[in-house]
Structure 1
Amino acid sequence: MTNATAKETAVKETTTILDLKKLALGDRSYLSFPKTTYPELEPFEHKDVGHRADPTKASLYKNAEKIFDVTPNIGTEIHGLQLSKLTNQQKDDLALLIAERGVVFFRNQDINYQQGKELGKHYGPLHIHLTEGHVPNEPEVFPIFYDKSVEAQKRSELFRDASAGWHSDVSYELQPPGFTFLKIDTLPAVGGDTYWSSNYAAYDKLSPALQKFLEGLEVVHSGKEQGLNAKARGYTQRRQDIEHTHPLIRTHPVTGWKGLFVQPVFARRIVGLSKRESDTILNLLYSHIYGGHDFQVRFKWTEDTIAVWDNRVTAHCAVFDYINIDRRHGWRITTQAERPYFDPKSKSRSEELSKKQTANK
């Protein structure tokens, strides 16, 4: 297939919007695994719309029924707004809120996946996953679908150790995702929660000496294992350029805050260190994330809830406690952002919040 044909396939849209929830309740999976391959992702200049936001985020706070923080360090929930009906100012203000709080939750949402694609395009180019199935003719729409089938069992086996599932979406890309929009519309009777952790607070909780040591180090992120697992299941790896090096401590372009940018699913080694040194430090940081209950949020879903998170400043982990019992389904839209960078002049979140509290006093 030529690059032109692949691009045409990538942007093709179905004329009828499928009822994915209904399809998910059927006896057979609706996911499409075409053998389509794509050209490598091309670098682009990312202009984060959070720079256009009103610092007070008034368009959200004055129109929502209720907005509250779920935990002190991460997670905010908004009631009374539909993502399908946001104004451009609200979309920009939401970008700033997500950048500050890591993940924002919206319950009882009516948005469908076509509207989700349009919303996602406001924040950046839509990402097509390297290997996973998608909605037929909609490669940008990535279903999250696990049930009691043999296929789902095999996929969940990759995360037999639940803590090994912590990740930031496809961090192996040259320009990894900014925002992910995930709508869950079908839930097991019990279970199926998701954790998020704050990369800002994870950095803040490290000792100053370790912070200084880590700043400037780089980590290799790889999707090679993901590609090999797909091939073993008989599916296509859609692109080949799936390993890149990113800073271990990352600066967010809108907040200017430092965050720990590493997680076990895609991080492989620290550049310039021996294997023993790299493994020791990475395992220390992974344990730091696993045990960071004071900078995590565990979210209990309700049907038709959407979580929107910033992959640049969070990691997340789905809890597969419902496998062998029930099914869970939703769909995801992911947007690309800038190439990760570290600015030595950037500040930590705790430093900035402390300054604001002092100024307010």
Structure 2
Amino acid sequence: MATEFIGQAETAVSAPITPREFPERLAIRADSPIEQDQLDDQKIPVEQEKPVEQEKFVEQVKSVEPEKSVEEVRSVEQDKPKIRRVIDEEGGSTTATYPHYLPVWDHGEKYPPWERFTHTEHGKDADPSFKDLLVVGSKLQHLTPSTGSEVTGVQLSKLSHAGKDQLALLVAQRKVVVFRDQDLAGLPIQEALEFGAYFGRHHIHPTSGAPEGYPEIHLVYRNGGNGEFDSFLANRNSGVAWHSDVTYEEQPPGTTFLIILDTPEVGGDTAFVNHVEAYNRLSPAIKERLHGLTAVHSGFEQAEFSRSHGGVVRREPVKHSHPLVRTHPATGEKALFVNGGFTRSIDGLKKEESEYLLKFLLDHIGRGIDYQARVRWAPKTVVVWDNRLTSHSAIVDWVTGERRHLARITPQAERPYETPYAAEAK
């Protein structure tokens, strides 16, 4: 399992998080499969008692509230939610370029179940000339004929509403678009979230690390040192783990943003595969048979993995059935909607039948090198993809000890739906 299955982290008691304008944050605080390359990193270290420090603390409490016993003080301390902070694990200082984005896991954050919302697909009526997006002086270059493009000369944070609409359409058409020389990482986190909120309700990942006070940001994090690479490959031959993000939600993400914060000079790329082209390559007979089938997408395994390793579970896990073939609301294209991270079984089929068909589809997607694109990260890069039409995998291949640190903004979209199979002209 993987969205970039790459770790996250941080620790200590913080001030209460103040609800901002995003509706989902007003509720009581209750995704990538393991897009935490190292969910083992979520183990909460067992702290050894520090008698001297504890005695000092108890004496301080006694001087202020002499009526409390040592046992009462200890009980209060034990009842406080655990909070893990990466910056504490780095000794209070860090070489991270954006330290305010270092991961935190707060066990006190709890959220109720998601409620349905009406998603507006901004790419649906966008101007296909892209005149408000690809402005004078910009350049668009395709990464491969079918999948992926790179854009320079455009500043995402400065786009008008029309430009954002056209961005959603371009990303749906090209599946993944790379933007260079962006300022999103340098903006206040709140402003980056306000930009992303245009494209849908922010998803809050149930298990990943987040910047303190901003659970809507999903962090992809690997320090790169301390034998992490050897540990990661100890029980696997490859780090490739194709997945689409948090597809177990009733309304999985659509237009999705990944912002680089720190990256190895070489290595740590991300690969994307085009599920529309994967669908198009199938024979008409197989396409017709897949229509009408649904598959279960489950978040239970991810939540259990986090719990069993001392990690957080901010929201109780869910599972939902989605069509095996979904239709995109802006382009009308059909795409295979299965992924190795979260798709568990096909409804209505016996176990052996389901496993056989899922294996065929996942193998077909994974080996489709002729409809994949590989993105090389560089400072100030932002990658935008349509999570409805792609899956992706981090490429864990660098052994230089460099930090790999990214922030994902994950707007949710419509509930997946399919349109009837249309026989192809012979």
- TM-score, normalised to structure 2, is 0.73
Question: What amino acid is aligned across from residue 45 of structure 1 in structure 2?
Answer: T
1:8 to 2:80 alignment:
no
Partner residue, 1:301: 377
Quote the offset at 1:259 in angstroms. 0.3
Cα–Cα, structure 1 residues 250 and 7, in superposed 2: closer, same or farther, change >3 Å? farther
Secondary structure at the residue paired with 1:89? helix
Distance (Å, rounded) in 2 between the aligned partners of 1:346 and 1:39: 40
Q: 1:106 aligns with which of 179, 182, 196?
A: 179
Q: 2:106 aligns with which of 29, 34, 52?
A: 34
Quote the offset at 1:186 in angstroms. 1.2
Cα–Cα, structure 1 residues 29 and 134, in superposed 2: closer, same or farther, change >3 Å? closer
Further displaced range: 146-155 or 201-210 = 146-155
Quote the offset at 1:110 in angstroms. 1.1
Distance (Å, rounded) in 1 between the aligned partners of 2:149 and 2:327: 21
Tell me if the contact between 1:159 and 1:165 (Cα under 8 Å) persists in the aligned partners. Answer: no
Quote the offset at 1:341 in angstroms. 0.6
Q: 1:80 aligns with which of 153, 168, 177?
A: 153
Distance (Å, rounded) in 2 between the aligned partners of 1:159 and 1:347: 45
Cα–Cα, structure 1 residues 33 and 110, in superposed 2: closer, same or farther, change >3 Å? same
1:169 to 2:245 alignment:
yes
Question: What amino acid is aligned across from residue 238 of structure 1 in structure 2?
Answer: R
Query: Which structure 2 residues correspond to residues 210-229 of structure 1 after superposition, within 5 A?
Result: 210-229=286-305
Partner residue, 1:96: 169
**Which structure: larger Rg?**
2
Secondary structure at the residue paired with 1:59? coil
Deviations 1:293-333 (A, max 9, x none): 11100111111100000100111111011257322112110
Higher helix share: 1
Query: Which structure 2 residues correspond to residues 70-219 of structure 1 after superposition, within 5 A?
Result: 70-111=143-184, 112=187, 113-148=189-224, 156=232, 160-162=236-238, 165-219=241-295
1:326 to 2:402 alignment:
yes
Q: 1:52 aligns with which of 125, 137, 158?
A: 125
Question: What amino acid is aligned across from residue 34 of structure 1 in structure 2?
Answer: D
Distance (Å, rounded) in 2 between the aligned partners of 1:29 and 1:151: 23
Quote the offset at 1:189 in angstroms. 2.7
Cα–Cα, structure 1 residues 84 and 26, in superposed 2: closer, same or farther, change >3 Å? closer
Distance (Å, rounded) in 1 between the aligned partners of 2:213 and 2:363: 40
Distance (Å, rounded) in 2 between the aligned partners of 1:178 and 1:29: 23
Partner residue, 2:57: none
Partner residue, 2:351: 275
Question: What amino acid is aligned across from residue 148 of structure 1 in structure 2?
Answer: G
Cα–Cα, structure 1 residues 174 and 150, in superposed 2: closer, same or farther, change >3 Å? farther
Q: Tell me, which stretches of 5 or more residues in structure 2 are unaligned?
A: 1-15, 27-86, 88-93
Tell me if the contact between 2:201 and 2:411 (Cα under 8 Å) persists in the aligned partners. Answer: yes
Tell me if the contact between 1:11 and 1:138 (Cα under 8 Å) persists in the aligned partners. Answer: no
Question: What amino acid is aligned across from residue 167 of structure 1 in structure 2?
Answer: H
Percentage of identical aligned residues: 42
Distance (Å, rounded) in 1 between the aligned partners of 2:271 and 2:412: 22
Distance (Å, rounded) in 2 between the aligned partners of 1:158 and 1:265: 20
Distance (Å, rounded) in 1 between the aligned partners of 2:17 and 2:364: 42
Partner residue, 1:231: 307
1:285 to 2:361 alignment:
yes
Distance (Å, rounded) in 2 between the aligned partners of 1:220 and 1:159: 27
- TM-score, normalised to structure 1, is 0.86
Quote the offset at 1:115 in angstroms. 2.7
Partner residue, 1:16: none
Distance (Å, rounded) in 2 between the aligned partners of 1:159 and 1:334: 30
Distance (Å, rounded) in 1 between the aligned partners of 2:121 and 2:397: 36
Question: What amino acid is aligned across from residue 244 of structure 1 in structure 2?
Answer: H
Tell me if the contact between 1:258 and 1:346 (Cα under 8 Å) persists in the aligned partners. Answer: no
Question: What amino acid is aligned across from residue 195 of structure 1 in structure 2?
Answer: A
Question: What amino acid is aligned across from residue 314 of structure 1 in structure 2?
Answer: T
Distance (Å, rounded) in 2 between the aligned partners of 1:199 and 1:317: 14
Secondary structure at the residue paired with 1:284? helix
Partner residue, 1:24: 96
Quote the offset at 1:69 in angstroms. 1.4
Tell me if the contact between 1:251 and 1:346 (Cα under 8 Å) persists in the aligned partners. Answer: no
Quote the offset at 1:187 in angstroms. 1.2
